[in-house]
Amino acid sequence: MSRFNGQVAIVTGGALGIGGATARKLASEGAKVFIADIDDSSAALNVQSIKKTGGIAVASHIDVSQSGDIARMVDEAVDMYGRLDILVQNAFGVIAGESRIHGSALTVEEDNWDYGIDVLLKALY
């Protein structure tokens, strides 16, 4: 029996990088994975990768800086799988591998700074 067999995991920022690897590892250990990301094409590729190895995964366009998306994320995962056991809050203010926050706090645009704060802090609320 796999370590996470039958458990349901949401991975925010689960399309690429650490989040993508986490989603694949959870699936390889038996979890049903819900990838929440704003990068739809990369999320779809990660779902395909998981399914090719026998795992179970879906992806949904979720922007964790938006409270409505966070509520929808949980609702979709529970509606699809009937429960939620694991939440990996991995999302960071990065779009397709590039951060919107460049440079120091003195040079970054205010709207990009606000977006980064929303992703890093609001998603936890």
Residue 124 lies in a domain: no
State how many domains the chain has: 1
What CATH number has the domain bearing residue 72? 3.40.50.720
Residue 56 lies in a domain: yes
Task: Report the mean per-residue pLDDT for the chain.
Answer: 87
Distance, in Å, from the CA atom of 8 to the CA atom of 117, rounded to the nearest integer, reads 28
**Distance linking the first and last C-alpha atoms of the chain:** 34
Residue 107 lies in a domain: no
> Residues 74, 84: contact at Cβ < 8 Å?
yes
Question: Tokens standing for 98?
Answer: 């590039």
Q: What range does the domain containing 43 cover?
A: 8-91
Which stretches within 2-86 are classed as H helix?
Answer: 17-28, 40-52, 67-81
pTM of the model: 0.83
> Residues 1, 24: contact at Cβ < 8 Å?
no
What pLDDT, in 10s, does the model give residues 97-106?
A: 455 555 566 6
